[in-house]
Amino acid sequence: METKFQTSFIPKKPVASSIGGLSSAPQHRQTTSIFMTIATILFILSLAGAGGSYAYGQYLLSAQTTYKDQLATREKQFNVDLIEQLKAENVKIDSARKVLNNHIALSQIFDIIGRMTIENVRFMSLDVSVPTVASDGVKISLQGYGTSLSAVAFQSDVLSQLDQYGLRKIVKNPILSNPTLGGVSNTVGFGLSAVVDPASLSYENMVSPASASSPTSVSTPTK
């Protein structure tokens, strides 16, 4: 009886190659499983981030609409026409205040000249020059005469001692010039120039109740 032999050997199950007695197929599956888990987590996080951004955007739109409604309600509580009228009146008041502050009452120059002129001196002409820059002061130029040479000399002494008459801060750089002997009457003509502080000529100070209630007490030079 002949013995039958199997001519081919075909394994029914694949033989996994092993290195050092360990199979490599399970390790590959484990690595793939980790990558899938990480990808799934990242996908979930991205969905959560997108959902959060959308929700926050909707919140901002809702808050903006609410603020607009509140602003419209507040505006209705105010009289816009009255506010515009008050703003126009405020502009007028500010303009009037600026004009008042910059206005110079030149009539006060006569009082200043009278306070620094002695009895025996008369002034016949007056020129006033108001500069464009108020801080430069108001320049005055006078032509007058004295009853005698001694009267003109005393007038010169008064101009050098204006602090005794309360005029040192008001009248600056007074200069008496060109003394000239007159005719039969023995009068002496001369010229006088000075700079007057514009603050002392302020119309606002002249009409203010404070300056009217407490006038400056000064003496008048006499001879």
Q: What are the tens digits of pLDDT across the range 43-76?
A: 888 878 777 787 888 888 888 888 888 887 777 7
Number of CB atoms found within 10 A of residue 172's CB: 13
Tell me the pLDDT of the chain averaged across its residues.
77
* Residue 17 banded pLDDT, cuts 50, 70, 90: very low
Angle (CA) 72 76 78, round 5°: 125
Does the pLDDT value for residue 166 go beyond 80? yes
Instruction: Assign 13 a pLDDT band (cuts: 50, 70, 90).
Output: low
Between 16-30, 99-113, 117-131, 177-191, the lowest mean confidence (pLDDT) is in 16-30
Choices 1.10.3470, 3.30.70, 1.10.260, 3.30.420: CATH for 108-213 = 3.30.70
Q: Which pLDDT score is estimated for 212?
A: 44
Task: Give me the residue spans of the domains in the chain.
Answer: 108-213
Phi/psi for 118 (5° steps) reads -80, 170
